[in-house]
């Protein structure tokens, strides 16, 4: 039997313990009772970012973006489609670097959009520039831990 996975709720950020075998069975948060997987990226703030990076036992793909960025807006629907395709194996999140400048600075984000893949509480891969759906899926597949 495998150990349960820890997952931060995308709604209330409560940490949930879910058996790995139940990930595909639409698990719900034990605190707020909302679905743990929505098929959409989670908007992270300075307060919720560390909880999602350090307490999720599945990889976290973060899109660092800004509302004024044309390529970011062009990539947004592709990133949302990727969330629907990659969950529950990977959680997708967005960080608005204009609203959360400390996070952009902390991770030395020099161009947007920038995708960063986190696993085990640390960044394991980074890709600047807008990407289409298939490119996002291939890039995540090539870099996520097995």
* Enzyme catalytic residues: 69, 72
CA separation for the pair 112, 89 (Å, rounded): 25
Query: DSSP state, 61?
Result: E
- Strand, helix or coil for residue 92: strand
CB 72 within 8 A of CB 130: yes
- Using CA atoms, how far apart are residues 46 and 44, in angstroms rounded to an integer? 7
**Token code pair at residue 69:** 């960025």
Contact between 86 and 142 (Cβ < 8 Å): no
How far CA 84 is from CA of 9, 35, 73, 80, in Å, comes to: 16, 14, 18, 7
**Residues 47 and 104 sit within 8 Å (Cβ to Cβ):** no
């Amino acid at each position: 039997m495998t150990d349960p996975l820890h997952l931060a709720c995308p709604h209330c950020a409560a940490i949930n313990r879910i058996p790995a075998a139940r990930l595909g069975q639409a698990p719900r948060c034990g605190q707020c009772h909302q679905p743990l997987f929505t098929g959409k990226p989670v908007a992270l703030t300075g307060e919720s970012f560390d909880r999602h990076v350090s307490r999720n036992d599945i990889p976290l793909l973060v899109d660092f973006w800004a509302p004024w960025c044309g390529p970011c807006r062009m990539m947004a629907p592709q990133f949302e489609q990727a969330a629907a395709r990659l969950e529950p194996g990977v959680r997708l999140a967005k960080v608005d670097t204009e609203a959360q400048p400390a996070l952009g600075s902390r991770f030395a984000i020099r161009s947007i959009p920038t995708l960063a893949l986190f696993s085990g509480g640390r960044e394991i891969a980074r890709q600047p520039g807008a990407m289409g759906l298939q490119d996002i899926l291939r890039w995540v597949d090539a870099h996520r831990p097995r």
